[in-house]
Structure 1
Amino acid sequence: MTRHAAHLPRIGAALAAVALVAAGVSACSPITSYSGFQAIDSDPKDVKIGTDTKSTVRAKLGSPSVQSTFDPNVWFYVNQIKERVAFQRPRVTARNVTAIAFNKDTELVETVNVYTLKDGKVIAFNNRETPTRGREMTVLEQLLGSVGRGGLLPQDDEGVPGSRPGDRR
């Protein structure tokens, strides 16, 4: 065996290890997803207070992501970025909410507020349920529950609305 042939298994093992590390590193790179309003031609921050109206804002930015439930003169443009690594839960890395308020009478822009992920508040939801006590029946009560109600015997449905005379189903 030549000197070079003895090193081939070591080189092959080293290349396999490098390929394995490269595959592991690429598997750990995050998958980024963008959702919501995407500013392409103009940015919501470019809306001018006192100059722009509902129609010019709609022409610049398009329809809002959401309109306020209680005041149709407040529009929201929302976008967020999520990253997910391998099999972990997605994590929101950025969120922007631009709130544009219009004057009720003139429809001119009154305020433009931009809220980020740092402005949000974490709300702890309570997943517990309030137990309601209903009638709990035992297995024996469930099995014998229809005895005595005539469920096993054929019933005479004549005279009942919707039944035909002589019809036995």
Structure 2
Amino acid sequence: MAATMLTGCGGITVREHRGYVVDEQLTSGIAVGTDNKASVQKTLGDPTFTGTFDQNDWYYVARDTRAFAFRNPKVTDQTVIHVRFDPAGNVASVEQTDEKLIASIRPSGDRTPTLGRERSFFQELFNNIGTISQPGLPGSQRQ
């Protein structure tokens, strides 16, 4: 019975689309120097997110993923439309990229390196037993 359940779940492939739905006619209609923030918002809608340091950068992100059973999803297609505005609010540039610019960040291990010595749970728990408090220090009874 367990083998039957595993075989049944093993063939499940989940495909998802998240984010902006790209329409090539609409995105190609954005003209540098002619359009402004209001016309881009009417044409493309609200951006997926704006720039962290510069609110004149708008990003529209569309991503398709595929996952096999319960594994982590893998990106099969991604489109990012970056609309940059000048200080007056007019379109300065329109760029489109794909999934080739996705950065793969791999952590170096499951522990964060720290300075100092390593203590066990019990050393941390019973560390202050028997210490003498000095006046004026936090936690002391006398002032």
The answer to whether structure 1 residue 115 and structure 2 residue 97 are counterparts is yes
Counterpart position of 2:107: 125
> What do residues 101-148 of structure 1 show as CA deviations (whole Å, max 9, x unaligned)?
11212x221111011111334334334411343684785993992699
1:86 aligned residue (69, 74, 85) = 69
Output the TM-score relative to the length of structure 1.
Answer: 0.59
Indicate whether 1:33 and 2:16 are aligned.
Answer: yes
> Of the candidates 70, 80, 83, which is equivalent to residue 53 of structure 2?
70
Counterpart secondary structure, 1:111: strand
Name 1:51's counterpart in structure 2. 34
SS of the equivalent of 2:126 reads: helix
Match of 1:122, SS?
Answer: coil
Gaps of 5+ in 1: 1-19, 150-169
Greater share of residues in strand = 2
Query: Larger deviation: 51-60 or 127-136?
Result: 127-136
Distance change >3 Å, CA 129–CA 48, structure 1 → 2: same
Q: Do residues 99 (structure 1) and 82 (structure 2) align?
A: yes
8 Å contact from structure 1 (residues 42, 60) kept in 2 = no
Aligned match of 1:162? none
How far, CA to CA, are the matches of 2:122 and 2:15 in structure 1?
A: 52
Q: Is the 8 A contact 1:31 1:83 kept in 2?
A: yes
Aligned to 1:130, the other structure's residue is in SS state coil
Unaligned runs of 5+ in 2: 134-143
- SS of the residue corresponding to residue 66 of structure 2 reads strand
Retained in 1: the 8 A contact 2:9–2:69?
A: no
Percent identity over the alignment? 22
Q: Matched residues in 2 for 1:74 and 1:45: separation? A: 18
Q: Who wins on radius of gyration, i.e. which is larger?
A: 1
Number of equivalences:
127
Q: Tell me which amino acid in the other structure corresponds to 1:80.
A: R
Report what 1:167 is aligned to.
none
| CA separation of 1:125 and 1:47: change in aligned 2, threshold 3 A | farther
3-state SS of 1:44 partner: helix
Greater share of helix residues, 1 or 2?
A: 1
Q: Larger relative contact order (C-alpha < 8 A, sep ≥ 6)?
A: 2
